[in-house]
Amino acid sequence: MGEEHVVWQLLIRDVPDFPRPGIVFKDITPLLADSAGLRLCVDELAAPFEDRSIDLVAAPEARGFVIGAMVADRLDAGFVPLRKSGKLPRETLHADYELEYGAERLEMHTDAVANQARVLIVDDVLATGGTAAASARLVTLGGGDLVGFSFVLELEFLGGRRQLGEAHIAAAITVQ
């Protein structure tokens, strides 16, 4: 089948009640497994930032790594991993954020986005915005210039973009 016929949005599955009752999990594994669909998805995430001189894509583990590294390649940018606590080997900055149950921490190497590097943050899903807001704090703390965010899917009803300030926010799919 030609690439133009792949409706990549249909390759994301709804999984009800995962990881907890009441949550509809957006499963991107069928999209990751489809080379044409994945290429089209990454094209869409990169497109709004093609003329924005992105130096680095920063993304939280783990699904953000897969999509983010591909967007970085598409934009001729480098990649910065934002990791859970204790995973990075050198000096780190950290940002804490709230989850529905308890707190979480993301870390980034102190020198990862130094000297006003122009940074795009990428992730699969924007839900309440805690993860993306913590990612943005790390970029700013590290001396980077936060240009914007690009998500595969935004759960608009959770209002996550209200936490993300003035930077440009792109989402390929919006769920209302």
Q: Which residues bind ligand AMP (CB under 6 A)?
A: 23-26, 60, 63-64, 123-132, 160
Q: Is residue 63 annotated as part of the catalytic site, yes or no? A: yes
Burial (Cβ within 10 Å: 0-12, 13-18, ≥19) of residue 30: middle
113, 142 Cβ separation under 8 angstroms: yes
Q: Closest distance between ligand AMP and the C-beta of residue 147, in Å?
A: 19
Distance from C-alpha of 145 to C-alpha of 131, rounded to nearest angstrom: 18
The half-sphere exposure of 80 on its side-chain side, counting CA atoms within 13 A, is: 29
Q: Which is nearer to ligand AMP, 33 or 114 (CB)?
A: 33
Min dist. Cβ of residue 4 to ligand AMP (A): 28
| Residue 97 CB, nearest approach to ligand AMP (Å) | 7
Task: Name the residue nearer to ligand AMP (CB basis): 76 or 157.
Answer: 157
Q: Which is nearer to ligand AMP, 3 or 14 (CB)?
A: 14
Active site residue 100: yes
Q: Smallest distance from the beta carbon of 7 to ligand AMP, in angstroms?
A: 20
Is 65:59 a contact under the CB 8 Å cutoff? yes
The one catalytic residue in 44, 63, 83, 154 is 63
Nearer residue to ligand AMP within complex by CB, 77 or 126: 126
Tokens 């934009």 belong to residue: 75
Give whole-number Cα distances, 161 to 116, 136, 153, 168, in Å: 23, 12, 12, 10
Contact 114, 142 (CB under 8 A): yes
Catalytic residues: 63, 100
